[in-house]
Amino acid sequence: MKTINKIIIAFLLMASFVSCSNEQEQKVIATEEIIREDSSLAILAKMNDGVELGFLVQQDAPNQVILVHCERDKIPTSGHVTIPNQFKSKGVTYTVTGIKSYAFSNCESLTSVTIPNSVTSIGEGAFMDCTNITSITIPNSVTSIDALAFDYCTNLIEIVVSDGNRKYDSRDNCNAIIETASNTLVKACRNTTIPNTVTSIGRGAFASCEGLTSITIPANVTNIEEFAFSACPNLTKIVVADGNRVFDSRNNCNAIIETASNTLIAACCNTTIPDNVTNIGMGAFCGCSSLTSITIPNSVTRIGDKAFHGCSSLTSITIPNSVVSIGESTFGDCSGLTSVSIPNGVKSLGRHAFSGCESLTSITIPQGVNCIEEWTFATCWELTSVSIPNSVTSIGDFAFYGCKGIESLTIPYGVTSIGDYAFQDCSGLTSVTFPYGVTNIGYDAFRGCTSLTSVTIPSSVTNIGHGAFCGCTGLTSATILNPDLQSQYDYVFIGCDNLP
């Protein structure tokens, strides 16, 4: 990653672009060639308007370059950027054939861009978070567009694919990018209308379309991938057209349900979950920041990964007794969630299941859960009470990281392993009790628990990580009962200045 950052910083190119209202010809006025640390070639080119861009020569294609970076604070006041299709350096003509991943990411002042007909590929996140870009035209040369290329372009209202493109189209003036051969809609905007000929909606196709208020799924659509409608906070109406044999929106539920499996796969803030739904699918309510309440019926047995991730206005939720599994990041970053009831039937909690629930004050983990996974309750700042059942045998890395409100903790019998950073920066923790049977306490497991005053490590512990209690400045008493580990005392209690 350091090498990449050096490349981006070191090989910025000077390019200039004229506003849409200025007819001045845009051209390269100076170039410089530099050999990078990995022996590949970078071209520095200065155009006549001051926008800084970085180009790299593709190693497998002579005389071709890809655009790697745009200096966001050099976008002209017009907000428009034109990418050159060719330029010369030391007598050699280079053709611009690609836009690399994240080349224009976070260019918030960018309102429009002209992509030359020489470009064949647009990489992952190439225009991510360009929140003021309003229109995009895909030239007929482009044959590859990553699914995340235009993520979080929240004001995008017009998408056009040039006539003659053999890979993509925007048929019927749909304001979307459709992969022609597969009839898959791969990127949409708030003004998109899904054509009746579309059969598939790609992963994240409508993601972050903040202005989208309603959508109709045509009868021919037979496949909808994950997160297709995530982070659409103003979406209030979802209808599946009559005659669709794969999906439905039964009972006017304002959601998309996979008919055969009774799985709710996409929802909005006005969704009512029908009583016969058995699964809430991956990312179904993801990013639905205006959702304030939801009733999960007793028919539901599984709640998928990221199902309610980022539902920041959700304050409480009751999970029915029928649920046996809560997926990864299911309630992650539900920052307004103050209370949640997890029924005894739940046997597994996925990683990050409640991480970032900043307002959550207490949690009871049901009997039957045998592992608290990585990051499960991390950064739950207001969590003051946690009950860990005897069924738990391991506490994963970062499981309660940053839970500064927890004051006391009893590790139940049966727990054998406490992961790295598991309770790091739990600064309110005043006492912790370890049962005999714990064999492993991870690296920095209790680092920064500044309110701890005493700790006893049982003789069953055979491995204790470096800095396990580092910076626990409140400790005045600490004992390691396993004689084989006592020589590690100084490494375990680094920075515990009040220990004798």
* pLDDT digits 0-9 by tens, 228-238: 999 999 999 99
Per-residue pLDDT at 10: 41
Mean pLDDT of all residues in 265-279? 97
Integer Rg of the chain from CA = 27
Reduced to 3 states (helix: H, G, I; strand: E, B; else coil), residue 394 is strand
* Chain-centroid distance, C-alpha 57: 30
pLDDT at 325 over 70: yes
Whether residue 403 contacts residue 380, with contact meaning beta carbons closer than 8 Å, is answered with yes
CA-to-CA dists, residue 3 to 6, 41, 59, 124, 320, angstroms: 5, 15, 17, 19, 50
Per-residue pLDDT at 327: 95
pLDDT at 48 over 70: no
More confident residue, 19 or 246: 246
Hey, CA dihedral for 319, 323, 324, 329, is it positive or negative?
Answer: negative
Per-residue pLDDT at 78: 82
Report which secondary-structure segment, H or E, holds 236: none
Which neighbouring-strand residues pair with 64? 95
CA-to-CA dists, residue 6 to 56, 64, 170, angstroms: 13, 22, 38
pLDDT at 147 over 70: yes
Which neighbouring-strand residues pair with 47? 28
Mean pLDDT of all residues in 364-378? 95
The overall average pLDDT reported for the chain is 90
Phi-psi region of 125 (alpha: psi -120 to 50; beta: other; left: phi over 0): left
Band of residue 29 on the pLDDT scale cut at 50, 70, 90: low
pLDDT at 366 over 50: yes
Per-residue pLDDT at 119: 97
Closest alpha carbon to 471 in 451, 447, 443: 447
pLDDT by residue (tens digit) across 161-195?
A: 999 999 999 999 999 999 999 999 999 999 999 99
Report which secondary-structure segment, H or E, holds 8: helix 2-10
* Chain-centroid distance, C-alpha 46: 35
Q: Give the global pTM.
A: 0.87
pLDDT at 375 over 80: yes
Whether residue 376 contacts residue 356, with contact meaning beta carbons closer than 8 Å, is answered with no
Per-residue pLDDT at 30: 66
Mean pLDDT of all residues in 311-330? 95
Per-residue pLDDT at 26: 61
Mean pLDDT of all residues in 380-403? 95
Determine the Cα–Cα distance for residues 261 and 362; give it in Å rounded to an integer: 34
- SS percent in the chain: helix, strand, coil, step 5: 5, 30, 65
Mean pLDDT of all residues in 419-424? 98
- Terminal alpha carbon distance of the chain: 42
Stretch among 77-91, 145-159, 385-399 having the lowest mean pLDDT: 77-91
Band of residue 433 on the pLDDT scale cut at 50, 70, 90: very high
Mean pLDDT of all residues in 92-97? 91
Determine the Cα–Cα distance for residues 163 and 149; give it in Å rounded to an integer: 21
Residue 37 burial (C-beta neighbours within 10 Å; 0-12, 13-18, 19+): exposed
Per-residue pLDDT at 45: 65
pLDDT at 331 over 60: yes
Per-residue pLDDT at 136: 95
Phi-psi region of 372 (alpha: psi -120 to 50; beta: other; left: phi over 0): beta
Mean pLDDT of all residues in 19-48? 64
pLDDT by residue (tens digit) across 469-492?
A: 999 999 999 999 999 999 999 999
Determine the Cα–Cα distance for residues 4 and 7; give it in Å rounded to an integer: 5
Whether residue 8 contacts residue 36, with contact meaning beta carbons closer than 8 Å, is answered with no
pLDDT at 34 over 80: no
Domain 387-500 has CATH 3.80.10.10: yes
Closest alpha carbon to 231 in 310, 126, 132, 335: 310
CA dihedral 96, 101, 107, 110 (to 10 degrees): 40
Closest alpha carbon to 400 in 391, 409, 392: 409
Band of residue 47 on the pLDDT scale cut at 50, 70, 90: low
Band of residue 51 on the pLDDT scale cut at 50, 70, 90: confident
pLDDT at 7 over 90: no
Domain ranges of the chain: 2-169, 387-500
Whether residue 290 contacts residue 233, with contact meaning beta carbons closer than 8 Å, is answered with yes
Which neighbouring-strand residues pair with 45? 31
Determine the Cα–Cα distance for residues 330 and 350; give it in Å rounded to an integer: 8
Q: Do domains 2-169 and 387-500 have the same CATH topology?
A: yes
Determine the Cα–Cα distance for residues 334 and 293; give it in Å rounded to an integer: 12
Whether residue 206 contacts residue 228, with contact meaning beta carbons closer than 8 Å, is answered with yes
Determine the Cα–Cα distance for residues 390 and 387; give it in Å rounded to an integer: 10
Band of residue 127 on the pLDDT scale cut at 50, 70, 90: very high
% residues pLDDT > 70 (the chain):
92
* Domain at 2-169: CATH code: 3.80.10.10
pLDDT at 58 over 90: no
Determine the Cα–Cα distance for residues 47 and 68; give it in Å rounded to an integer: 16
Per-residue pLDDT at 31: 67
Hey, CA dihedral for 68, 73, 79, 80, is it positive or negative?
Answer: negative
Determine the Cα–Cα distance for residues 434 and 259; give it in Å rounded to an integer: 49
